[in-house]
Amino acid sequence: MILSERVRNSLVSSTVSIADKTQKLREHGETVFDFSAGRAFEPTPAYITNATIHAMQNGDTHQTMARGKTSYREAIAVKLARDNGIIANPETEIIATMGCKQGLMISLLATINPGDEVIVENPCFVSYKQIIQYLGGIPVEVTLSEENNFRWTKTQLEAAITRKTRAIIVCSPHNPTGTVHNSEDLQIIAEISTKYNLIVITDEVYERVVWGGNKHLNLASFPGMKERTITLMSFTKSFSMGGWRVGFIYSGAEIINQIEKLQQHLITSVNSFVQVGATIACGEPDAEVLNYWAEWEKKVEFVTSTINSLQGLSCRMPDAGFYAWTKINIPGIHSGEFSKMLLEKERVAVVDGTSFGDAGKYYFRFTCVKSWDELEEGLRRLRNFTKCLL
């Protein structure tokens, strides 16, 4: 059978494939502790689900406008003004997506040609480089080092630019390191992207789950940046809505117009009733959601402090997000074998740091937003396992 080079050269998604593997093991009756993909343990809050069921029962089961329902886009505009200080025109500057990944795909389809270079962070979310390559683009990595709190410098960023550079993908709050880019970081990106006429795609899926005194900032709200920034947001993480596959893009009208054509051909529209749930999620979060966020912060603190108490491992409390990005300080042991053996010996699944880029060779990613019981047992097993390696 002759298949495309695109698929033959493609790696699997390590986050999705390890989560699938653990699910399969469970279906075969095995006990597995899954801290791999960033999927919270809690269900979607009832006020969101109930409104969606009601919409389905009332016949809201047909395709919508390719841009998404007017009511959804209007709710997004209210959310952007309230949470992000962005004044968006819901008619021209917003389009509904099936989560950030699909948003990224259409953003790149709209902006890069084969042979164009796209700057990504190293480490970065596992699907960025792959999607760029599907489109014939070339990912160019800029390394984020722990010593620099997982930020890039202006010199590093500028050094990565060539005549072929077309776009930069920035993830803030960052997956997997948990860094929130401050205004100085974003100013650097604004300056460089303006100087070299680049598009910036910002993945802001963790914008609402920010810990301590940290504050999420939007590049699009920096002077002159709206027209060259494509902001990706979704409800997957903050509202435990991963299975809904829903989010949106905010950008200048010209980009949204072009993306709309892609959306018409590729998916027609985002599922109609799912947009009703997402519309509700754009409102002020209710007590249940606020309680989720408070619990998650406690869990992230618990996991990071427990890991730091283990000999041979260390991690920072992230500024935001679900993950303990954990450094393996055991001579001769790198992430690939560590993660593989941890699953084999202790039935604990984490994500091998290398899947986020070679800067992750001595790290693994542990998702903290699981049940307290799972966390306690999973960390006990992690302790056992690490002890044996020392």
Q: Which of 387, 389, 313, 390 is nearest to 350 (CA)?
A: 313
Got the DSSP string for 172-223?
Answer: SS-TTT-PPP-HHHHHHHHHHHHHTT-EEEEE-TTTT-B-TT-----GGGST
44-83 footprint of ligand GLU as x/- string (CB under 6 A): ----------------------------------------
C-alpha to C-alpha distance for 231 and 87, rounded to whole angstroms:
13
Which of 38/45 has CB closer to ligand GLU? 38
Which of 15/52 has CB closer to ligand GLU? 15
Does the footprint of ligand GLU cover residue 16 (CB under 6 A)? yes
Does the footprint of ligand GLU cover residue 37 (CB under 6 A)? yes
**Subset of 124-153 contacting ligand GLU (CB under 6 A):** 125, 127
The type of residue at 9 is N
**Subset of 321-340 contacting ligand GLU (CB under 6 A):** none
164-193 footprint of ligand GLU as x/- string (CB under 6 A): -----------x------------------
Which of 325/338 has CB closer to ligand GLU? 325
CB of 122 to ligand GLU, least distance (A): 16
Q: Quick one: CA torsion of 276, 277, 279, 282, rounded to 10 degrees?
A: 180
C-alpha to C-alpha distance for 195 and 197, rounded to whole angstroms:
6
- The count of residues interacting with ligand GLU (CB under 6 A) is 8
Beta pairing, strands 165-171 & 199-203: parallel
| Segment interacting with ligand GLU (CB under 6 A) among 8-16, 64-72, 87-95, 255-263 | 8-16
Q: C-alpha angle 342/344/347, rounded to 5°?
A: 70
C-alpha to C-alpha distance for 193 and 168, rounded to whole angstroms:
8
Which of 127/354 has CB closer to ligand GLU? 127
Does the footprint of ligand GLU cover residue 13 (CB under 6 A)? yes
C-alpha to C-alpha distance for 345 and 192, rounded to whole angstroms:
47
Two tokens at 229? 């920034």
CB of 367 to ligand GLU, least distance (A): 7
C-alpha to C-alpha distance for 90 and 314, rounded to whole angstroms:
45
Does the footprint of ligand GLU cover residue 15 (CB under 6 A)? yes
Which of 127/269 has CB closer to ligand GLU? 127
C-alpha to C-alpha distance for 285 and 282, rounded to whole angstroms:
8
Residues in the chain: 390
CB of 177 to ligand GLU, least distance (A): 12
Does the footprint of ligand GLU cover residue 38 (CB under 6 A)? yes
Does the footprint of ligand GLU cover residue 103 (CB under 6 A)? no
Two tokens at 273? 């009733």
CB of 24 to ligand GLU, least distance (A): 16
Which of 73/370 has CB closer to ligand GLU? 370
Two tokens at 57? 């029962």
User: Helices 335-346 and 372-389 sit at what angle, rounded to 10 degrees?
Assistant: 120
Residue numbers of the site for ligand GLU (CB under 6 A)? 13, 15-16, 37-38, 125, 127, 175
